[in-house]
Amino acid sequence: MDNQSLLALSEKYGNPIYVYNTEKIISQYNRMTNAFSNVPKLKINYAVKANSNINILKVLNTLKSGVDCVSIQEVKLALEAGFNVKDIFFTPSGISFEEMETATKLGVQITLDSLSVLEKFGAKYSNIPVCLRINPHVMAGGNHKISVGHIDSKFGISIYQIDGIKNIVEKTGLKINGIHMHTGSDIYNIDAFLTATEILLNTVKEFDTIEFVDFGSGFKVPYKEGDIETNLEKMGATLSNRFNEFCKEYGRELTMIFEPGKFLVSSAGSFLVKVNVVKPTPNIVFIGVNSGLNHLLRPMMYDAYHHITNISNPEGEEKIYDVVGYICENDTFGSNRRISEVSENDVLCIHNAGAYCFSMASNYNSRFRPAEVLVHEGKDYLIRKEENFEDLLHNQIVLDL
- Domain end among 241, 261, 281: 261
Do residues 172 and 35 both lie within one domain?
Answer: yes
Quick one: which of 187, 207, 200, 213 has its CA closest to 43?
213
Q: State yes or no: pLDDT of 268 exceeds 90.
A: yes
Return the pLDDT at 188.
64
Do residues 200 and 278 both lie within one domain?
Answer: no
Tens of pLDDT, residues 291-319: 999 999 999 998 999 999 999 999 999 99
Do residues 216 and 281 both lie within one domain?
Answer: no
Active-site residues: which are they?
Answer: 328
Tens of pLDDT, residues 63-73: 999 999 999 99
Q: State yes or no: pLDDT of 139 exceeds 60.
A: no
Return the pLDDT at 66.
98
- Average the pLDDT over 275-284 and give the result: 97
Please, is 269 exposed, middle or buried when counting C-beta atoms within 10 Å of its C-beta (0-12, 13-18, 19+)? Answer: buried
How many structural domains compose the chain?
2
Rounded to whole angstroms, the Cα distance separating 231 from 219 reads 9
Return the pLDDT at 147.
41
- Degrees, nearest 5: CA angle 342-321-143: 130
Q: State yes or no: pLDDT of 27 exceeds 50.
A: yes
Rounded to whole angstroms, the Cα distance separating 41 from 253 reads 8
DSSP type of residue 16 = S
Q: What are the residues facing 255 on neighbouring strands?
A: 212
Rounded to whole angstroms, the Cα distance separating 151 from 209 reads 27
Rounded to whole angstroms, the Cα distance separating 131 from 90 reads 9
Q: How far is CA 344 from CA 272, 351, 392, in A?
A: 14, 20, 29
Task: Let me know: does 182 contact 132? Beta carbons within 8 Å.
Answer: no
Tens of pLDDT, residues 323-347: 999 999 999 999 999 999 999 999 9
Q: State yes or no: pLDDT of 150 exceeds 60.
A: no
Return the pLDDT at 152.
60
Quick one: which of 313, 314, 305 has its CA closest to 337?
305
Return the pLDDT at 159.
87
Domain that holds residue 60: 22-261
Do residues 314 and 247 both lie within one domain?
Answer: no
* % the chain with pLDDT above 70: 95
The values of phi and psi at residue 69, to 5°, are -115, 145
Tens of pLDDT, residues 160-192: 899 999 999 999 999 999 999 976 656 667 777
Return the pLDDT at 278.
98
Do residues 241 and 271 both lie within one domain?
Answer: no
Rounded to whole angstroms, the Cα distance separating 325 from 288 reads 6
Q: Is residue 155 part of a domain?
A: yes
Taking the alpha carbons at both ends of the chain, their separation in whole angstroms is 52
Strands 88-90 and 109-112: parallel
